[in-house]
Each structure stands twice: as structure tokens, then as C-alpha cells.
């Protein structure tokens, strides 16, 4: 997850692997806006690596089966106008206030914006 700040209404970009829906991408384009889903859910293989990338104000999700060769998740690129300093982290949820959820995160790396360049399709910026 990438967020502009820690407020509950912050713009964000989130890519996740869920047992029921596969790879999902959600985002909020401006502070206080409704959260949206980017494209349809994508069914992954049994074990996948996920990556959220930011190139300027364009965000995208990548997936890999080996952690070396990366493929853009279809329809995952969105334009979000965030400041240059952002928050990044990992998240897990049960989507149920009465249930607990657990997850195992492995091979976690946070890379600077200038490294590991990836080509991401640039969406048209929103019209104000």
C-alpha cells in the first residue's frame, strides 16, 4: 500500500492478493474521495510476487511467479496526484470486524523511485 499520509481519507494505491478474488487493486485518487477498484480481479497462480510501482503520479501493479520477470496487472494503472514524500507498507484484513486474519509476507523490499525501472502505461490525468 502506498499512501499520501496516515489520515483515513488520504489518497492511496493498494494491491493485494485475496483468497476469494485473486489480485485486486484499489485506490483513492484525491483526499476524501470514494475508494475505487482498478479493473477486474485477476486470478494468479498458486504463489505470486506483487509489486506496486510509482512513476511520477502514475501508479501500477506488477506480478511475477519468480520475482525476476514482472508483468503489469491488466487495468491496474491509475493517475493519483500525491506529494513526493509518501508512506508505504504492508496490510492484511479479514474484512470482518468479528474475525481475525493472518498473513505471511516474504521477500519484502522497498526500492527508491529511481531504481528498477518498469514500463507502466500512462493513463490520462483526470480533468478537474
Rounded Cα distance between 58 and 107, Å, is: 24
86-110 pLDDT, tens digit per residue, is 898 888 888 788 988 887 787 787 7
Q: What's the predicted TM-score (pTM) here?
A: 0.79
With a pLDDT cut of 70, the percent of the chain lying above it is 84
pLDDT bin (cut points 50, 70, 90) of residue 46 is low
The closest alpha carbon to 60, from 77, 73, 37, belongs to 77
DSSP strand pairing (36-37 vs 49-55): unpaired
**Cell 483468497 sits on residue:** 19
| CA atoms within 13 Å, Cβ hemisphere of 61 | 28
> How many helical (H) and strand (E) elements, i.e. helices and strands, does the chain have?
0, 9
DSSP lists the bridge partners of residue 14 as 26
* Coil vs helix vs strand at 46: coil
Amino acid at each position: 500500500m502506498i499512501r499520501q499520509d496516515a489520515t483515513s481519507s488520504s489518497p492511496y494505491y493498494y494491491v493485494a492478493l485475496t483468497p476469494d478474488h485473486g489480485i485486486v487493486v484499489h485506490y483513492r485518487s484525491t483526499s476524501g474521495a470514494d475508494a475505487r477498484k482498478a479493473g477486474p480481479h485477476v486470478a494468479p497462480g498458486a504463489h505470486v510476487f506483487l509489486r506496486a510501482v510509482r512513476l511520477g503520479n502514475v501508479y501500477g501493479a506488477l506480478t511475477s511467479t519468480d520475482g525476476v520477470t514482472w508483468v503489469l496487472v491488466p487495468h491496474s494503472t491509475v493517475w493519483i496526484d500525491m506529494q513526493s514524500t509518501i508512506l508505504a507498507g504492508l496490510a492484511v484484513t479479514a474484512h470482518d470486524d468479528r474475525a481475525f486474519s493472518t498473513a505471511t509476507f516474504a521477500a519484502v523490499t522497498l526500492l527508491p523511485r529511481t531504481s528498477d525501472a518498469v514500463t507502466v502505461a500512462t493513463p490520462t490525468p483526470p480533468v478537474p
